[in-house]
Structure 1
Amino acid sequence: MASQVVVKGKGKGGKGSKAMEEKVSSTAKCIKQWSSWTFKKAKVVVHYGFIPLIIIIGMNSEPKPQIYQLLSPV
């Protein structure tokens, strides 16, 4: 006959550990949602803010070009 080995985890198995697991799980879920939301917003800001940033940097450089010189492809 084959014998079976049952391994039980050490530590307290009371009500507190389950509540702690749920709290940690909800915290991790909250952090994941927050970071996902933040990266989505950052992507939009970078997408629409890159060209205006380049124009502002160009306008503040020496010699100071006119706006049409910055926007023209030549």
Structure 2
Amino acid sequence: MASRVSLKSKGKASGKGSKGSQEEKSLSQSFKEWSTWTVKKAKVITHYGFIPLVIIIGMNSEPKPHISQLLSPV
């Protein structure tokens, strides 16, 4: 396996008195993280919400079916 080389400088000169400050993220990196988080949440919502949504839409349609008619395979 190849080892990775770290380009971060070590010592007092890199901090300049700000102990807990993080480097500023670019706008594109922030957007990428936000969109990834959004897509993950949307996948979970779609996964667990699709069948209840179909049942709710089916219950509000004409003619009004009973819940057993919606859930039966026939």
TM-score by length of 2: 0.64
| AA matched with 2:58 | G
Instruction: From the two aligned structures, give the one with the greater helix fraction.
Output: 1
Separation in 2 of the partners of 1:34 and 1:62? 41
TM-score by length of 1: 0.64
Give the gaps of 5 or more residues in structure 2.
Answer: 1-22
Identity value in percent: 71
Whether 2:41 is the aligned partner of 1:41: answer yes
Give the gaps of 5 or more residues in structure 1.
Answer: 1-21
CA RMSD of aligned residues (A): 1.6
Whether 2:67 is the aligned partner of 1:72: answer no
Q: Which has the larger radius of gyration?
A: 1
